């Protein structure tokens, strides 16, 4: 009889496993990984010590509860979802216990993130060899589970080749002897059917138990997908870091690129990586407005990385380019690493994993790709192939029409046909991600009956009751069972247009779970709350999963469910995911829509009426009140009324607003008086005007008021926001249409016109406005404005989140460097994010976000000029660091020799 979750959790806690939960929110967060599968667990456990892993298995055995180990939740094959207890090692078991440079090894707990291990090994000139595309967030335990490989496995081997020792928690005591006996009874069969080529990852790697291979139990368990034992600690081998050089070879097609691989492998170079990339993926990056380094001619490329300086020996390419600039090489590798997410939206309809990483011996790769394309055409499907061509491994996100039963049948039929075709090439249905729920049923199409019988005997020897990751490898679930809905069960009428998606359900399903948002050290803006809390619920992926459940599933009861409120509470609406999520999730927009739905006809939180309507309150504030604002007892009362945390100061409005002359000659530049510049930073507009005047240009403030409605949007007051935005578009349209440049000075307001306006009003008018309003840096580049000499000036710059994510901060950085400044760009968010950091209940997280990058950057360079164009960022800096930050135009005006200081 299945135990009740409360009974199970009580027993776990009695055994010392205290971080456990059966809450709806946690079960929703862990119901999916990066695959197509959804299995709602009974409960979630996050062990704090390796001993707790042993306790978890003891309780599981006593209560007959299945256990599924989960690394970073980036499994593409459905290896990390299960019906019983899901065990998350990332939260607490992420310690690097030792790096031994003499032995070239590292001892780690299973939740150690790959990138963290690389950082720890780097000072010793070492690295962990395999590096999957998910290396900023995947765990060593997860890599062991799947025998992960990555781009550089060609040079450094798979995870199984780099494991030196494993400490394990078993369900049985004599499993080791049983396994040796099973292999000894079938030595000839194991020698001829396993380990035939490097990417034969499907099934159990029985070749490692052969006596001539040293009976390496540790290496055998790598790739067993958590079905045989649980890793409590791993010792892994490290390799010397060495200079590597990237050459990109261009070919007419991906199949022709694949044809060239055998020549490359035999060419005499020591290849570290040989990756295939389709031009359509690069086109998607360019279409998003992101820079792409120059690439040689072709529709398909091989990224060939070699150790040393010798030219790459290849044949048949249209063109080639050797990339000597490390920054350009890194940018190209980032595109390749984002391949899974980019490929998912590079086709006319959404593309999914399922047939994700099949591999063939490299000499057959070109022929297999052509057969694969024919199979796709026969089933009415398309894909964009890419992958580890040097190892014969092809990744493919396919546009399976999963919205109905016929589409799901097509999914099943295609997987069966592909597995059958692959067998003729001696291929493996999995080349690095494991079989999981996506391919375990297909194993009879790859292995003979004797091999399959061996797999069953291995499973019974180690896990006789079938409790470890059931439904995977042995006694598998059907490949089309437990598929996550691709479309919402019900429909929600939205207030926003959701211009990039057909519905809110389709929008939240943009999240495929690849987990770029759960990297411990964020490269861009996404996801600041996760960086601060390390809680899955505070990641973009976690929020998307809960919203998917609310719209699709039976677990979360609609958008008004408390689980939805809890998941969205710490979303800063920073829009970091817009630029940094490879699948284009826009959680800020989804949150605005959800808040609109939740509070329709209901009383809102107090801060929605105060901070959410701040521009209206500011417009009504008389002069005497402006002078009192933010001072002493008045501020205390105002914070209490507004729902502002008592530890916050209130930004004080300027004594006077911007002057708006109603008439005069046509200027050379119009300045848009957004609410925040008008009320809090009129001096910024004055500095911009002075700079333009020094350049021989006249500037005037647009006389009519025009608010972007940002505060109404972020608090989900969308009906009123639509009215405001419609008025603003109508007001500003003639100025934009005149051809005179219109400059916005507050990045959050300008970004709202660039993105949110089209969600609320006629997209045509909003698009014309979005393309006609620019930042000061964009104007300076367009007009080639003269700049002051900033040589010797060190600048620590905190780009506003919306500036970095929507507008792009590259023009600002180019301008500063052209002026001679030394620039340190702070990654991530300041932590205030408009109303978020001001509200009660958010202060601690707001400070933690600031401590992730901004405050350490200030402490590292206390004499630098601090630059922050956003009002939120400047207020956070003043509040937490006592620093007066400058807007870009203030810095330029202050250092301009012809302007008074």
The SS3 assignment for 600 reads coil
Q: Is the separation of the CB atoms in 303 and 332 below 8 Å?
A: yes
Q: Which two tokens stand for residue 849?
A: 């976000």
The set of residues, in sequence order, having a beta carbon less than 8 Å from that of 898 and lying 6+ positions away, is 694
> How does pLDDT run across 800-856, given as a tens digit for each residue?
999 999 999 999 999 999 999 999 999 999 999 999 999 999 999 999 999 999 999
> How does pLDDT run across 209-218, given as a tens digit for each residue?
999 999 999 9
| DSSP run (H or E) holding 849 | helix 843-852
Q: Which of 841, 349, 852, 872 is nearest to 575 (CA)?
A: 872
Higher pLDDT, residue 282 or 868: 868
For residue 497, pLDDT over 80 is answered with yes
The pLDDT, as a whole number, for residue 614 is 95
> How does pLDDT run across 750-806, given as a tens digit for each residue?
999 999 999 999 888 999 999 999 999 999 999 999 999 999 999 999 999 999 999
Q: Which of 357, 443, 445 is nearest to 398 (CA)?
A: 357
The pLDDT, as a whole number, for residue 488 is 56
Q: Is the separation of the CB atoms in 385 and 277 below 8 Å?
A: no
Q: How confident is the model at residue 404 (pLDDT cuts 50, 70, 90)?
A: confident
The pLDDT, as a whole number, for residue 338 is 79
For residue 420, pLDDT over 70 is answered with yes
The pLDDT, as a whole number, for residue 10 is 96
CA separation for the pair 314, 316 (Å, rounded)? 7
The pLDDT, as a whole number, for residue 688 is 97
Distance, C-alpha 109 to centroid of its chain? 23
The SS3 assignment for 483 reads strand
The pLDDT, as a whole number, for residue 624 is 61
H helix intervals, 585-709: 587-598, 606-610, 614-619, 623-628, 632-642, 675-680, 682-694
CA separation for the pair 50, 829 (Å, rounded)? 34
The SS3 assignment for 561 reads coil
Q: How confident is the model at residue 454 (pLDDT cuts 50, 70, 90)?
A: very high
CA separation for the pair 260, 245 (Å, rounded)? 19
Q: What is the mean pLDDT of residues 374-389?
A: 94
Q: What is the mean pLDDT of residues 585-598?
A: 97
> How does pLDDT run across 426-440, given as a tens digit for each residue?
999 999 999 999 999
Q: How confident is the model at residue 349 (pLDDT cuts 50, 70, 90)?
A: confident
Q: How confident is the model at residue 157 (pLDDT cuts 50, 70, 90)?
A: very high
Q: Under the phi-then-psi rule, with left for phi > 0, alpha for psi from -120 to 50, and beta for the rest, what region is 476?
A: beta
H helix intervals, 643-717: 675-680, 682-694, 710-714
The SS3 assignment for 540 reads helix
For 693, phi then psi, to 5°, come to -60, -40
The pLDDT, as a whole number, for residue 491 is 66
Q: Which two tokens stand for residue 680?
A: 């809090």
Catalogue the E-assigned strands of 279-390: 300-307, 319-323, 386-388
Burial degree of 685 (CB within 10 A; 0-12, 13-18, 19+): buried
Q: What is the mean pLDDT of residues 11-21?
A: 97
For residue 489, pLDDT over 60 is answered with no
Q: Is the separation of the CB atoms in 482 and 491 below 8 Å?
A: no
Cα angle, residue 339 at apex, residues 337 and 342 outer, rounded to 5°: 130
For residue 138, pLDDT over 70 is answered with yes
For residue 170, pLDDT over 80 is answered with yes
Q: Which two tokens stand for residue 622?
A: 């008389």
Q: What is the mean pLDDT of residues 152-179?
A: 92
Torsion angle of alpha carbons 810, 813, 818, 822, nearest 10°? -150
Q: How confident is the model at residue 627 (pLDDT cuts 50, 70, 90)?
A: low
CA separation for the pair 270, 479 (Å, rounded)? 39
Higher pLDDT, residue 845 or 503: 845
Higher pLDDT, residue 486 or 295: 295
Distance, C-alpha 337 to centroid of its chain? 11
The pLDDT, as a whole number, for residue 175 is 85
Q: Is the separation of the CB atoms in 591 and 573 below 8 Å?
A: yes
Q: Which two tokens stand for residue 862?
A: 């206390």
CA separation for the pair 342, 247 (Å, rounded)? 22
Q: Is the separation of the CB atoms in 418 and 359 below 8 Å?
A: no
Q: Which two tokens stand for residue 756?
A: 């949110």
For residue 173, pLDDT over 60 is answered with yes
Catalogue the E-assigned strands of 196-299: 230-237, 239-240, 244-251, 271-278
For residue 102, pLDDT over 90 is answered with yes
For residue 686, pLDDT over 60 is answered with yes
> How does pLDDT run across 854-900, given as a tens digit for each residue?
999 999 999 999 999 999 999 999 999 999 999 999 999 998 876 65
The pLDDT, as a whole number, for residue 487 is 59
Q: Which two tokens stand for residue 120?
A: 């720890």
For residue 490, pLDDT over 70 is answered with no
Share of the chain above pLDDT 70, in %: 97
Q: Is the separation of the CB atoms in 206 and 220 below 8 Å?
A: yes
CA separation for the pair 305, 296 (Å, rounded)? 16
First to last CA, the chain: 80
CA separation for the pair 160, 231 (Å, rounded)? 14
CA separation for the pair 40, 31 (Å, rounded)? 4
For residue 350, pLDDT over 90 is answered with no
The pLDDT, as a whole number, for residue 486 is 62
Q: How confident is the model at residue 625 (pLDDT cuts 50, 70, 90)?
A: low
The pLDDT, as a whole number, for residue 623 is 67
Q: Which two tokens stand for residue 741?
A: 């440049």
CA–CA distance from 175 to each of 187, 229, 680, 837 (Å)? 18, 10, 70, 54
CA separation for the pair 372, 429 (Å, rounded)? 13
DSSP secondary-structure letter at 213?
A: G
Q: Which of 760, 837, 763, 842 is nearest to 801 (CA)?
A: 837
> How does pLDDT run across 203-249, given as a tens digit for each residue?
999 999 999 999 999 999 999 999 999 999 999 999 999 999 999 99
Distance, C-alpha 864 to centroid of its chain? 31
Share of the chain above pLDDT 90, in %: 83
Higher pLDDT, residue 544 or 626: 544
Higher pLDDT, residue 679 or 171: 679
Mean pLDDT for the chain overall: 93
Whole-model pTM: value is 0.93
Q: How confident is the model at residue 583 (pLDDT cuts 50, 70, 90)?
A: confident
CA separation for the pair 614, 679 (Å, rounded)? 11
> How does pLDDT run across 506-548, given as a tens digit for each residue?
899 999 898 999 998 767 899 999 999 999 999 999 999 999 9
């Amino acid at each position: 009889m299945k135990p009740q979750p409360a009974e199970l959790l009580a027993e776990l806690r009695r055994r010392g496993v205290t971080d456990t939960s059966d809450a709806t929110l946690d079960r929703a967060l862990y119901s999916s990984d990066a695959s197509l599968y959804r299995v709602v667990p009974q409960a979630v456990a996050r062990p704090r010590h390796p001993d707790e892993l042993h306790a978890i298995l003891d309780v599981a055995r006593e209560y007959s509860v299945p256990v599924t180990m989960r690394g970073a939740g980036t499994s593409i094959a459905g290896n990390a979802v299960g019906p019983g207890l899901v065990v998350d090692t990332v939260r607490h078991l992420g310690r690097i216990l030792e790096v031994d440079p003499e032995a070239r090894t590292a001892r780690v707990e299973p939740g150690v993130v790959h990138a963290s291990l690389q950082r720890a090994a780097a000072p010793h000139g070492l690295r962990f060899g395999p590096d999957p595309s998910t290396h900023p967030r995947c765990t060593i335990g997860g890599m062991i589970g799947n025998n992960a490989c990555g781009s550089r496995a060609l040079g450094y081997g798979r995870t199984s080749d780099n494991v030196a020792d494993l400490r394990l928690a078993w369900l049985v005591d004599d499993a080791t002897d049983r396994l040796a006996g099973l292999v000894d009874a079938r030595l000839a069969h194991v020698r001829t059917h396993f380990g035939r080529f490097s990417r034969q990852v499907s099934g159990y790697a029985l070749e490692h138990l052969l006596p001539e291979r040293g009976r390496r139990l540790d290496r055998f368990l790598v790739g067993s997908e958590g079905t045989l034992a649980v890793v409590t600690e791993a010792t892994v081998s490290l390799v010397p870091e060495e200079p590597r050089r990237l050459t990109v070879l261009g070919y007419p097609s991906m199949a022709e690129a694949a044809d060239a691989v055998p020549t490359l492998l035999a060419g005499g170079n020591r290849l570290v990586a040989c990756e295939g990339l389709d031009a359509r993926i690069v086109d998607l990056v360019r279409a998003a407005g992101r820079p792409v380094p120059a690439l040689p001619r072709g529709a398909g490329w091989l990224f060939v990385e070699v150790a040393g300086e010798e030219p790459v020996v290849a044949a048949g390419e249209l063109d080639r380019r050797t990339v000597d600039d490390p920054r350009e090489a890194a940018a190209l590798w980032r595109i390749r690493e984002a391949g899974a997410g980019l490929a998912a939206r590079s086709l006319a309809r959404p593309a999914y994993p399922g047939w994700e990483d099949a591999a063939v011996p490299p000499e057959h790769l070109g022929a297999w790709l052509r057969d694969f394309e024919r199979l796709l055409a026969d089933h009415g499907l398309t894909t964009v192939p890419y992958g580890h061509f040097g190892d014969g491994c092809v990744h493919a996100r396919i546009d399976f029409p999963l919205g109905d039963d016929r589409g799901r049948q097509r999914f099943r039929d295609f997987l069966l046909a592909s597995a059958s075709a692959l067998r003729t090439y001696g291929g493996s249905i999995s080349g690095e991600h494991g079989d999981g729920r996506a391919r375990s049923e297909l194993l009879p199409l790859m292995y003979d009956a004797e091999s399959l019988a061996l797999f069953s005997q291995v499973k019974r020897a180690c896990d006789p009751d079938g409790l470890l990751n059931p439904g995977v490898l042995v006694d598998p679930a059907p490949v089309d069972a437990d598929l996550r809905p691709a479309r919402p069960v019900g429909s929600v009428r939205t207030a926003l247009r959701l211009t990039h998606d057909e519905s809110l359900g389709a929008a939240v399903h943009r999240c495929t779970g690849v987990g770029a948002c759960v990297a411990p050290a964020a490269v861009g803006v996404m996801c600041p709350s996760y960086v601060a809390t390390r809680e899955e619920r505070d990641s973009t992926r976690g929020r998307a999963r809960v919203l998917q459940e609310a719209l699709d599933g039976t677990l979360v009861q609609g958008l008004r469910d408390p689980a939805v409120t809890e998941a969205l509470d710490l979303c800063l609406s920073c829009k970091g995911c817009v630029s940094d999520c490879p699948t284009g999730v826009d959680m800020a927009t989804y949150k605005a829509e959800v808040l609109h739905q939740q509070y329709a006809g209901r009383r809102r939180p107090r801060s929605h009426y105060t901070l959410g309507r701040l521009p209206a309150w500011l417009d009504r504030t008389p002069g005497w009140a402006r002078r009192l604002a933010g001072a002493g007892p008045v501020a205390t009362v105002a914070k209490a009324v507004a729902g502002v945390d008592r530890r916050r100061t209130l930004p004080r409005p300027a004594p006077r607003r911007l002057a708006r002359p109603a008439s005069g000659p046509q200027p050379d530049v119009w300045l848009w008086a957004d609410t925040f510049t008008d009320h809090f930073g009129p001096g910024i507009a004055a500095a911009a005007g002075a700079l333009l005047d020094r350049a021989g240009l006249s500037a005037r403030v647009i006389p009519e008021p025009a608010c972007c409605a940002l505060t109404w949007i972020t608090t989900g007051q969308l009906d009123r926001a639509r009215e405001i935005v419609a008025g603003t578009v109508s007001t500003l349209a003639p100025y934009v249409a005149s051809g005179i440049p219109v400059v916005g000075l507050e990045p959050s307001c300008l970004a709202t016109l660039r993105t949110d306006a089209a969600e609320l009003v006629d997209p045509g008018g909003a698009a014309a406005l979005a393309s006609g309003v620019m930042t000061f840096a964009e104007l300076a580049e367009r007009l080639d404005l003269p700049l002051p000499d900033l040589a010797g000036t060190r600048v620590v710059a905190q780009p506003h989140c919306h500036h970095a994510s929507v507008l792009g901060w590259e023009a600002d950085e180019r301008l500063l460097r052209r002026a001679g400044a030394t620039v340190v760009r702070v990654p991530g968010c300041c932590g205030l994010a408009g109303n978020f950091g001001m509200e009660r209940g958010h202060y601690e997280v707001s400070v933690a976000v600031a401590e992730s990058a901004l405050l350490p950057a200030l402490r590292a360079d206390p004499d630098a000029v601090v630059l922050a164009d956003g009002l939120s960022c400047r207020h956070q800096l003043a509040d937490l660091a006592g620093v007066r930050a400058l807007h870009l135009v203030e810095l330029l005006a202050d250092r301009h020799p012809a302007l008074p200081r």
